[in-house]
Amino acid sequence: MKRIGLIGGMSWESTSSYYTMFNRFTSESAAPWVQPRLLIDSVDFSEIVALQRLGDWDATGKILADSARRLVDAGATVLGIGANTMHMNFESVAEAVEIPVVDIRDAVITAVKAKDAASVSLLGTKYLMENDFYSHYLETRGVVVVKPTEDEVHELDSIIFTELTQGIVTEVSTNRFMAIAANCRRRGGDVIALCCTEFGMLVNEVDAPWPFVDSAAAHVRALLAF
């Protein structure tokens, strides 16, 4: 029996969105009351944030690998890391278990190409945008990446950690997010890639003024398809 395991809690707001989408997307094609079989291991995000700030990605990798093992022990047959930035540790997780791990980056690439687009405006945490584990992955698979300016990167990171990961959504930050997205589009990033799983709190990709790809939604669909 197939069972999805999700490494969650990074943050709990995005994990909540994952859970909602797992069930909502299933209901689009399933009979009434059918729900996906899920296991969620929610880590302590405060530990992750502290280690991110230190740049200790080996330690975060150990936390995620331990989480993956717990999910496998509980019966998971496929795994997902419920955060974009923590795909910095994708290899650590994949090497820790013998079951498949569905990569959110692959899900984003598939969603972008489904829109007949070849370039993205990559929006996420400063860790994601200042390193190349995400952008290089996309570019080597045929997706051109446009990043915000250095100042915009820090603005987005502040919105994520001081507001969204604490459940705060403001009109000011929403407007600023849209302005940054517009700037990236003008510089060639046709599709706005919401590569922070909390950005779905700011914009609905269905009703957005430009083509958007919500990485969390794409990841959920990929896990369900698996």
Quick one: 108 and 184 in the same domain? yes
Q: Are residues 205 and 143 in the same domain?
A: yes
- pLDDT for the residue 192: 96
pLDDT value at residue 17? 95
Do both 137 and 160 map to the same domain? yes
pLDDT averaged over every residue in the chain: 95
Same domain? 86 vs 145: no
Instruction: Find the mean pLDDT for residues 165-192.
Output: 95
For residue 75, give its domain range. Answer: 4-103+221-225
User: Residue 204 is which amino acid?
Assistant: N
Please give the pLDDT value at position 207: 75
The average pLDDT across 89-98 equals 98
pLDDT of 206 reads 75
pLDDT of the residue at 30? 79
Mean pLDDT of 46-66: 97
Task: Give pTM, 2 decimals.
Answer: 0.95
Is the model's pLDDT at 136 over the cut of 80? yes
Assign residue 62 the CATH number of its domain: 3.40.50.1860
Q: Are residues 172 and 82 in the same domain?
A: no
27 or 64: whose pLDDT is higher? 64
Higher pLDDT, 112 or 28: 112
Rounded to an integer, what distance in angstroms lies between the CA atom of residue 189 and that of residue 170? 25
Q: What is the pLDDT of residue 19?
A: 97
The arithmetic mean of pLDDT across residues 98-106, rounded, is: 98
What pLDDT sits at residue 173?
Answer: 95
Number of C-beta neighbours around residue 117 at 10 A? 17
Return the HEC string of 158-182.
HHHHHCHHHCCCCHHHHHHHHHHHH
Q: What percent of the chain has pLDDT over 90?
A: 92
Number of domains in the chain: 2
In this prediction, residue 40 carries a pLDDT of 98
Same domain flag for 40 and 119: no
pLDDT value for 29: 84
Residue 19's Cβ-side half-sphere holds a number of Cα atoms within 13 Å equal to 14
> Do 125 and 83 share a domain, yes or no?
no
pLDDT band, very low/low/confident/very high, at 116 (cuts 50, 70, 90) = very high
Instruction: Specify whether 150 is located in the same domain as 82.
Output: no
Query: Is there a single domain that holds both residue 188 and residue 118?
Result: yes
- The confidence score (pLDDT) of residue 204 equals 80
For residue 93, count CB atoms less than 10 angstroms from its CB and return exposed for 0-12, middle for 13-18, buried for 19 or more: buried
Same-domain pairing of 142 and 120 = yes
| Co-location of 58 and 116 in the same domain | no
- How much is the pLDDT for 208? 78
**Same domain (yes/no): 80, 122:** no
Q: Tell me the pLDDT tens digit for each residue of 3-31.
A: 999 999 999 999 999 999 999 999 888 78
Q: Is the confidence at residue 205, as pLDDT, over 80?
A: no
